[in-house]
Structure 1
Amino acid sequence: MADQEIHLELLLGKQVLDSTGKAIGRIEEVRAEPQGEDWVVQEYLIGYAAILERLSAWTIGLGILHLLGARKIHGGYTVPWEKLDLTNPDQPRLRCSLAELKAVAETETR
């Protein structure tokens, strides 16, 4: 496969489909690490919990959700870069099952 340049800002907000075509959430955050002079994508965060992470508001967000009556918060996945097919950047797809992914946050509120 040839290298393809994808602008990350255009990926944010894109709906991600699982292997059956079911929507699992939107790309809300991208984590990358420096390697020499470049930055290399390590993983994508998808779903509602990823929005709070992106805004660095997880603690505040949990407090607000608790006040609104939420007891268990789950709504996102951490997707390693190699498990997201970006062949068509307008329709990203998982290369694995949901069961293989880690939850962004699965937290019980008190």
Structure 2
Amino acid sequence: MAAQEIHLELLLGKQVIDSTGKAIGRIEEICAEQQGEEWVIKEYLIGYAAILERLSAWNIGMAILHVLGAHKIHGGYTVPWDQLDLTDPQKPRLHCSLEELKSLNQNY
């Protein structure tokens, strides 16, 4: 299979569909690490909770939500790099079920 170049910034905000065709959220953050001279994608963060991660405002955001009465936030998932099908970058799809993903649930 030939390598495909994808501009990561164009993936941000794209709706992700699970293996059953259900929308699970939008790509809000892409986590990578440097290995030698290359950067390797580790995971994608999807959903509302991932927005706080992208803005590096998780602690501040949770503190504000706590003051407003929220004690738990849900709405995000961690998707390992190999579980996201980017064959069509305009319509990313999961290779796995939603239940197999790690949730970004956080208690405050």
What TM-score, normalized by structure 2, do the two folds share? 0.94
What TM-score, normalized by structure 1, do the two folds share? 0.93
Structure 2 counterpart of 1:24, one-letter code: I
Tell me, in whole angstroms, the C-alpha distance in 2 between the residues paired with 1:41 and 1:4.
14
Count of aligned pairs between the two proteins:
108
Q: Return 5+ residue gaps in structure 2 as ranges.
A: none
Partner of 2:107: 108
Identity %: 76
Q: CA deviation at 1:63?
A: 1.3
Structure 1 counterpart of 2:10, one-letter code: L
Could you list the per-position Cα deviations for residues 12-63 of structure 1 after superposition, in whole angstroms to 9, with x for gaps in the alignment? 0000000111110000001111111110101000011110011110011011
Tell me, in whole angstroms, the C-alpha distance in 2 between the residues paired with 1:107 and 1:5.
34
Q: CA deviation at 1:68?
A: 2.3
Could you list the per-position Cα deviations for residues 77-108 of structure 1 after superposition, in whole angstroms to 9, with x for gaps in the alignment? 0000000000000000000011111112x223
Partner of 1:77: 77
Stretches of 4+ moved more than 6 A in 1? none
Q: Return 5+ residue gaps in structure 1 as ranges.
A: none
Partner of 1:11: 11
Structure 1 counterpart of 2:15, one-letter code: Q
